[in-house]
Structure 1
Amino acid sequence: MAAASASPDVPSADFDPRSATIAVVTYNRSGLLTRLLESIVAMDPKPGHVVVIDNASSDDTTEVVASFRDRIGAELVYRRLETNTGGSGGFSEGVRTAYDLGSTWIWLMDDDVEVLPDGLARMGAWAPRFQSIQGRRYDYDGSAFYWQYRIAERMGIPIPFAPAGFDESGFKEMNSGCFEGMFIHRDIVARIGLPDPRFFIYWDDQTYGWLASRVTTSVIVDEFVLRRTREIKQWDMGIRHMNASSDAYRYYIMRNRAHIKQYYRVHRAYSPILFGLGTALTFGKELIRLVVVERTVRGTSNLFRGLRDGGRIARDRTWRPMPPLA
């Protein structure tokens, strides 16, 4: 595994780990959730709260969470939703719960990662300088996971070959976000509101990170703080990978372009030609993913359904962004 860089030139005493809340979203993956909670038990220092948002799981998730209540070393808050609201709804509820608990920092993550023992200390070392921070992750095989931290704003799509290296500063500015490790200050949440549950899945964290980058300097830092614990089928392109997908993802990838379009309109970042190009490139990428990674052409109907339903969202004159909390 690659070594993490030195933390920034600020004293860690400026950050109180108990002011942070880890907010986890889970759905029918109690085995993976167990690994994550075990990693939190091993953390030093620990956060003040651990929030688990359960998207109406039908497995033994409730019992698993209960088994950690006296071991976790932090106040454990469990919310089982009545229906599956998708990752978007789960993270929206997770941020709301953490915010209502009075948390200064909210660290978001899926259930298919584990936290490195000093992960919170490494993130907290950057807290005096920035208010929207993304750490680095190891992939399932122990290699450094590359995340597309910048988007081509007017097109609303990630830049797949943004430089992966860091200079001596140890950070790079980003204009995106990922709920697998986003570390965000409550003041930013107050200004931009909660993550938008209408996305259900896909583009929600990119949009939330983009909103954050409009009100603060958002950064990805050269600190390995998480490890992915689930292997995903991929196409190895040498320096980048393309993951397998699903019919649901294909649908929401295209449908949710309309929600991004609406946010762009509100924030005066919408360019019909460039955004349309971004949508076309997204469609093409999903076709490649189908053929090359999943070796099928079945599933294209979900892309077209997403475009169709997205058109209705884009024409909805009653659409409003998530409101600020302050």
Structure 2
Amino acid sequence: MTVSAVVVTYNRLPMLKEVIAALQASETPVDNIIVVDNKSNADTQEYLTSLGDQIRYVRLEENIGGAGGFNKGIRYFMEETVDDYVWLMDDDTVPTPTALTELVGSAAKVDNKFGFLSSDVRWTDNSRAKMNLPFPIDRFKKIPLDATEMEQLRNATFVSVMFSREVVDKIGLPVKEFFIWGDDIEYTERAARVYPGYMVPTSRVIHKMAQNVESNVSLDSIDRVPRYFYAFRNRMYFSRNRGFVRFLRAHIRIAYEAAMIFFNGQPKKMLRLKMVLKGVTTGWFFKPKVEFAKNKAKG
């Protein structure tokens, strides 16, 4: 089985170099490394161009965010390759040498009938990355750090997750209008409606975030607060598609997060609240279309 890896990058060249090197050192060879560049600065462009045919370089004319980047990367996989699987990751995700081997082996165990397969995402100290914690079907189950068996999940992030060509052909592409935040949760839940999605705990990657913290509008640094508009808008969109109960539950959860703004001692409380309210109200009417790519494997 053949694999395309899609890496979306934006102005993190030192980390991107490490990610590409790790992909090239994979125990199971990556057949195509597709790097989608959200119009990074000249140093990134020069480096990626210098790699020649070691990678497939997709440079975008503008920064369309992680969601847009993965949309373009999966489209490239579908329309420009005939590989069987697409393996997605950010430009700060460093796969271990056996990460892909374990994913491909697990695909065979379920006879390729999977919506998605995700890795066990660790931070630099080997604890679980809090931005990428697994969400089992059993809400009360906690997957131990030494787990070895596949575990069915509700969803996963785009920090080392693999899809088959068959599933992408059925469900289309990630919603590029999401820009950032939630595109991966919506997309993996869409895939899980075709076949079950699983975590493969023996497939390990390191997510080299600056800090191992969860996103929180009431606590995050003020320069990041405007990004939360996308978080709440996008959450409204995909909670609508989950049914009334989960749509209502999303509102209750967001109301709690908004209230916490006034209990946590961070500045610019009204700006934080504004991003929540603007995101929620916009999300009520946000109706992007799901795009589909041509399947080169079908001729």
Q: Which runs of 5+ in 1 are unaligned?
A: 1-15, 153-157, 236-241
CA distance in 2, matches of 1:96, 1:290: 43
Query: Matched residue of 1:135: which SS?
Result: strand
Query: Matched residue of 1:174: which SS?
Result: strand
CA distance in 2, matches of 1:289, 1:140: 29
Picking from 129, 132, 153, the partner of 1:145 is 129
Using structure 2 for the length normalisation, give the TM-score. Answer: 0.83
- The aligned amino acid for 1:277 is R
- The aligned amino acid for 2:90 is D
Using structure 1 for the length normalisation, give the TM-score. Answer: 0.77
Matched, 1:222 2:206: no
8 Å CA contact 1:36, 1:113 repeated in 2: yes
In the TM superposition, residue 276 of structure 1 has moved relative to its aligned partner by 2.3
CA distance in 1, matches of 2:147, 2:128: 18
2:283 matched residue in structure 1: 310
In the TM superposition, residue 277 of structure 1 has moved relative to its aligned partner by 2.5
Matched, 1:189 2:168: yes
CA distance in 2, matches of 1:293, 1:103: 50
Q: How many percent of aligned residue pairs carry the same amino acid?
A: 24
Distance 1:250 1:168, change over 3 A: closer
Give the total of aligned pairs: 284
2:250 matched residue in structure 1: 278
Matched, 1:259 2:243: no
CA distance in 2, matches of 1:31, 1:293: 35
CA distance in 2, matches of 1:77, 1:218: 28
In the TM superposition, residue 325 of structure 1 has moved relative to its aligned partner by 5.6
- The aligned amino acid for 1:39 is A
1:75-123 Cα distance to aligned partner (Å, 9 max, x none): 4111111111111100011111112211211000000111111221121
Picking from 82, 96, 101, the partner of 2:61 is 82
Equivalent positions of 1:16-55 (< 5 A) are 16=1, 19-55=2-38
- The aligned amino acid for 1:211 is R
- The aligned amino acid for 1:116 is T
8 Å CA contact 2:147, 2:202 repeated in 1: no
8 Å CA contact 1:26, 1:111 repeated in 2: yes
In the TM superposition, residue 181 of structure 1 has moved relative to its aligned partner by 0.7
Distance 1:102 1:248, change over 3 A: farther
CA distance in 1, matches of 2:262, 2:44: 32
1:3 matched residue in structure 2: none
Matched, 1:116 2:88: no
- The aligned amino acid for 2:18 is R
8 Å CA contact 1:112, 1:229 repeated in 2: yes
2:118 matched residue in structure 1: 134
CA distance in 2, matches of 1:293, 1:55: 35
- The aligned amino acid for 2:169 is A
Distance 1:113 1:274, change over 3 A: closer
1:295-324 Cα distance to aligned partner (Å, 9 max, x none): 6624221112212322332xx6xx544447
CA distance in 1, matches of 2:161, 2:16: 18
CA distance in 2, matches of 1:283, 1:151: 24
CA distance in 1, matches of 2:213, 2:58: 33
In the TM superposition, residue 253 of structure 1 has moved relative to its aligned partner by 1.3
Let me know the Cα RMSD of the aligned residues: 3.0
1:215-272 Cα distance to aligned partner (Å, 9 max, x none): 102111111421112222637xxxxxx984622331011111332145x1xxxx421x
